[in-house]
Each structure stands twice: as C-alpha cells, then as structure tokens.
Chain A
Amino acid sequence: MIVDPVTTRYVEAFFELASEKGVVDEVRADVDMIAAEVGDSVVGAWIFNARVPLEKRRAKVEELVSNCNPLTRDFVGLLFVKNRADVLKDLGAAFRAKWLSSRGSVEGVVESALGLKAEDISSLSASIGAKLGKEVLLRNKINSHLVGGVRVLVDNKLIDFSVEGRMAGLRRKLMECELPSVG
C-alpha cells in the first residue's frame, strides 16, 4: 500500500496522542468508520472534489465524526484548517499499519495458484514471522500465473517460492552459464 509521507506524519502524531490518552481502540473504530465512508465512491468523490466549497466539505465530514471521540473530531478539524483533507484518503490504511507496527505485527499477502488452507497460511505466517521478528498477518490472493507454489509479499519484501519465480531464476542462470566455443 502506497501511503503519502504527509499522511504518515499526521497519522503518527494522531496515534501517539491516542496512545497517551488511552483511547486507541475507540479512535481505531472511528478511523475504520471514516475509511469506510471515504472509501465509498460517491461520498469520496464529493469530499475530495475541489469544486465543492471547502466549508461544505468540512461540514459534511464534521457531521460524519460528530459522534466520534473528541480526539478524532479535533484531528479532522485540524486537517481542514491545514488544508490537508487529502490525508483522509489513506487514513484507514496508514492508521492500521501504525497500530499493527505498535503491536509488533505486519500485514502481508500470500499469492498462490490455488486457494490455501487456513492452517497452511498460519504455518507460513509463523515461519516468515520468525524470520522477520514480527507477527505476520497474511491474506491469501489467487494468482494463476504462478503455476504452483507461493509468493509472499510482506513489508516491502518478496519471498518467491513460486514455480514462475523458479523458472525465471533458472532462465537467468541458463542465460548466464558459460558455453564452450569451438573453432
């Protein structure tokens, strides 16, 4: 997930304040709600539409967070004051990543040609987690191009056990191997 560095900075400050005040779980629920609303194509298109006057957009978002924790309300208000409403776009993903990292966890994707069983995913998570020193939460994604095996993408790292990856490696090796010349 590509997150803008500005969003990361705002979210870090937001998360630290929530931790200090002991309201992380409440704030997380607020953030999930905001992410769901903003993720809706109609609402999102309206909130981030520069042609809609800022006051109207702000009023709409403030109405959305009216029942949220005061910290969330303040945070959203600040975003509009600082003209950083775009931070809301990736707020959900960035906050979740920060929350996971505070617990020593990280999310990842395991791609496979066929669906994996839950126990396979958990054993894979455990072995990769041991290598990374973190708890790894894997989500399965079907990718028929892999032919067989799995490909794990976690924390900007790629671990390729797929048939496609191995074939590519073998192709590279064969291209690089020295052949005898005659005459």
Chain B
Amino acid sequence: MDLRPAEVTSILKKEIESYQGESSMQSVGTVLSVGDGVARVYGLDDCMMNELLEFPGGVRGVALNLEEDNVGCVLLGSASEVREGDEVRATGRIISVPTGDNLLGRVVNALGDPIDGKGDISLSESDYLPIEQPAPSVVERQPVTQPVQTGIKAIDAMIPVGRGQRELIIGDRQTGKTALCIDTILSQRATGGGDPSNPEQMLCIYVAVGQKQSTVVDVVRRLEEHDAMKYTIVVSASANDEASMQYLSCYAGTTMAERFRDEGRHVVIMYDDIYKQALAYRQVMLLLRRPPGREAFPGDVFNLHSRLLERSAKLSDDAPRINPRYKAGGGSITALPIVETQEGDVSAYIPTNVISITDGQIFLESNLFNSGIRPAVNAGISVSRVGGSAQIPAMKKAAGGLRINLAQYRELAAFAQFGSDLDAATQATLTRGERLVEILKQGQYQPVLVADQVMIVHAGTSGGLDKVPVKQVQAFEKTFLAYMRDTKPEVAEGINSTGKLSDEGKQEIEAGAKAVASQMGY
C-alpha cells in the first residue's frame, strides 16, 4: 500500500488535536498466576463475561471464569510477556471482531487481524461486532426453501442443502471433507458471477480450526486459482495457534457471516473442523479448572456447538420490523460444520452432539473413497432433514427415483456377488444402478451447474445410459452435456429461468441421451 506523506501528516495532526485523553475510570487487577495460555487475575471487580482484557506488552485476554476472588482468562497472544504481579486493565468491551465487505478476499486470524501479508484492512469502529450474539428468535426466522447449490451431484440430487440449513459433513480423515467444502465455495461463483458487490452473490466463509498451516495455504491457493477468494473470507486458527484462538475462531467467523445475513445477503460458512474446536475448548476449560464431564469435556460442550450453529438461520422477510438489529430481511447463513471421526465411529460424544444439533449429515466413507467413488458420500445414511423443499422443482423431479434406484441396486449388488444366474429385472436394476453410481462420481474442483446436474441425472434415471459401458459413463456425460449446450440450449435455460423441468424438456433430454449414445456407437 502506498501512502502520501502529506496526507498522513494532516490526518495525524487532526488526530492529535482532537485527542482528549482518557480520564475515565478503568477497572484494574493484578496477575496472580499465568501459564499454559491462561491467567488468573485478582481484582477486576466489574469484569464482564467475555470482556477483553489488556495485559502489559499489548497482549490481550478474554475473561471466561468470573469467580469470587479472581477472574480466569485466556490469553490471546504469547504468555511469555506476562508476569505475576502485572497490572491488567479491563477494556469494558466484549471481545469483538471486524466485519464487512473489506474482509472479503482476505485471510484473517480469530481476532480478525489480517495474516495474509496484504496489508491492513480498512475498518471503522462500527465494523466491530461482538463475537457472541444471540441467535435469531423463532419469529425472526422463516423455513428453509431456497437451495444452496454445492455443485456436487451426489449432494444436490440426494441430500439437498438449503439456505439457512446446518448440514454436518462427517467422516474419517482423508475422505474428502475439505475438498467438499472447497467445491461448494467454487460452485457459489454461479450465484452472482463471483462479484461480491452483486447482492445475489452467495458469500463464503471458511473457518480453519486446528488445521496444518500448509492445508490452509493450499485451500487459499486453490481458491485464488479459481478466482473464488473475491467472495470468500478465510478465518484461520491453525494447529500452532493458542487453544483460545482455535476455540474463538468459529464464533468470529459466524459474527462476520451475521453482518452479511443481517444486510439481507446469503452466506455459507464452513467450520473445518468443529471437533478440533471442542478439543481446544476442553483444553482451555480444564486449565481454567472447570469440572470435567464425559471424555473430560466440560459440561457445556453441547451448548458450545448449539449456540454456535443456532446462529445459522434463514431470516424472515419482515425481520427488520421485529428487530431493528436487522437492516434487511430474507438473509441467511448456511452452516457446514465438519466433524472428523475415528475409524468411522459416529457414536462418539462430539459427533452425536453435532448430529443432533444439525439438520442432517453428509457421511463420507473411507471404503467408498478407496474404491474410487469420489465424492465418497454414503447416500444410504446421509440425510437432509430439510429435504426436497430445498431443491428446485426440476431437480426434485429428476432425482425423485435416484435414491430408491440406488438403494435397490446396493441391496441386489450384495447378492449378485455370489454369481448365480440373475433374472432380467434384477439385471436391469444392476445395470441402471452401476451407471447411476458412475454418474454421481465427480472430479475435485469441478462443480457442476444445477441445470447440467438435472439433465444428466434425468438421462440416467430414464435409462438413457443403460447401453453405455460403465467405464464410458464419464466420457458420455461430458459429450452429452456439450451436445445439450450446443444443440438444445433452451432446456438448460428453461431449468435456470423457471426452475422446472417441463415434459418437453424431459423428452429433449431423453432424445439427446439416445443421440449421443448412438453417436458413441452404443
């Protein structure tokens, strides 16, 4: 950033002239003990929960335990500069983070400070909002009806996610959880052309909790390569950051999302991953000597996640009339929390908690991943409790039979392995199923537009691919979509403009599939 020295001087002169000095009364305390990222402070009589505290050397802390004779707080910086007996000042401010459009395209830490080396973020006092805010009340919400297009066929067709929904992504390590998030971010480009000033553009916030720094760098690089950082904020509290920063980062990201939601815009936020946040919270709470419960997590670990995810909602159109906090109605936050399981154990403490809070889960399985089915979504046990109401009618129609077809296929495929003679109906189900499984496979960083998804899924469920060899399905899909784009663009246009798939459209798709199949010699 270049600066004009003359302008800077005039601004500084103005600041110095207008400076009145702070003569207000400040609450102060004394550090009793410090270590492991937490400190106990004597004094601070009027301290508030989550109040930001100032330690010597510019180190900041947050008050979390208000006890009879001391305040337990977590340090948001290096503890090596804080000593016993140091003076601590209360700031009178609840911990807040910057919000707004200026953060888009940036990588920030849990306090909203930029860490991408691209210079300071221009902010005003009103851009700072508290990281803990109440979730919208019942009357301020409306049911989830608009879809979030993840660009992933398996999800958009069978486990639709709606704007304002909380959909858990759960699976073992190396099953493609982060990849799924990145694909979702890339896919949002289609909502507003990737232009953050377009009110239709879905904004994205990726919160990396306890990740390797290299992973975060990789994610940012991918997003930049695909020009998706323009409408994305990355909040990073990586594995080497203090546990307090890791625990607060999810709330910080949500506050940034809420600013957009309250302005009537749409945001999708990913917490990667929320299990590590619970671990960081456990660490902080054990150091603050809160009583441990199951698996040594503190008693309020359920509330830790429920109060976070409850803030994701679809606001009612007349929310501003009910609560002046909202500047416009109809905005939404869609949350995609990630939980990493150990050996596929979804019945562990934190996974079951988050499953019960969210509106469904996308289960990624290592077996599927290793057998080449990517994204490795297990359609059998993945659910979306919002369901079809978050799908456009065209997709609802096209994907109607997909789930049942696949379920039948999986059941029969188990028997077919015995190799006995199969009747024609069984054979047909297997043939169809194999091709549908193949259709749902998708490469990484290749989100598919919703109209294309509808066309290929309909082509599959209507039997248009039955004669195409399984290995050729991917090639068929490419050719078929190109054929439809070139020769029958009105079908995709119809789906995009009306959201519906007309009978003529269906016939066009079936005819197109037949034409491409015969063109390919099947």
Contact = CB atoms under 8 A, between A and B. Distances in A.
A5 B69 contact: yes
Interface string B1-14: 11110011001100
Contacts of A160: 22-23, 26
Contacts of B448: none
Contacts of B23: 159-161
Contact of A131 (B25, B32, B44): B25
Interface stretch (A45-53, A57-65, A118-126, A167-175): A167-175
Given A5-B68, A169-B21, A158 B42 contact: no
Contacts of A148: none
Nearest to A169: B22
A156 B68 contact: no
A170 B15 CA distance: 9
Contacts, number: 76
B19 A173 contact: yes
Contacts of A166: 21-22
Contacts of A5: 68-69
B428 to A, nearest CB: 66
Contact of B28 (A158, A170, A174, A178): A158
Nearest to B26: A158
Interface residues of A, number: 26
A102 interface: no
A156 B29 contact: yes
A68 interface: no
A158 B45 CA distance: 12
Nearest to A5: B69
Interface residues of B, number: 34
Nearest to A6: B69
Contact of A169 (B19, B45, B87): B19
B347 interface: no
B197 interface: no
Contacts of A22: none
A48 B45 CA distance: 30
Contacts of B122: 178, 181
Contact of A177 (B11, B26, B27, B68): B11
A42 interface: no
A174 B4 CA distance: 16
A165 interface: yes
B519 interface: no
A7 B287 CA distance: 25
A24 interface: no
A157 B16 CA distance: 27
A181 B28 contact: no
A177 B125 CA distance: 10
B420 interface: no
Interface string A139-171: 000000000000001011111110001100110
B12 A174 contact: yes
Contact of B3 (A170, A173, A179): A179
Contact of B27 (A4, A156, A169): A156
Query: Quick one: which of A156, A160, A161 has the most chain B CB within 10 A?
Result: A156
Contacts of A183: 2
Contacts of B4: 180, 182
B187 to A, nearest CB: 32
Contact of A2 (B28, B30, B68): B30
B112 to A, nearest CB: 13
Interface in A66-114: none
A178 B126 CA distance: 13
A159 B28 CA distance: 10
Interface in B91-138: 119, 122-124
Contacts of A8: 69
B314 interface: no
Nearest to A154: B25
12 contacts: A5-B68, A5-B69, A158-B87, A158-B89, A169-B19, A170-B19, A174-B12, A179-B7, A180-B3, A181-B119, A182-B1, A182-B4
Given A156-B29, A170-B19, 15 more contacts: A2-B32, A153-B28, A158-B87, A159-B25, A160-B22, A161-B23, A165-B21, A169-B19, A174-B16, A177-B11, A177-B12, A178-B122, A180-B11, A181-B122, A182-B2
Interface of A: 2, 4-5, 8, 131, 153, 155-161, 165-166, 169-170, 173-174, 177-183
Interface of B: 1-4, 7-8, 11-12, 15-16, 19, 21-30, 32, 42-45, 68-69, 87, 89, 119, 122-124
4 shortest interchain CB distances as A-B pairs:
A156-B43, A5-B69, A158-B28, A182-B2
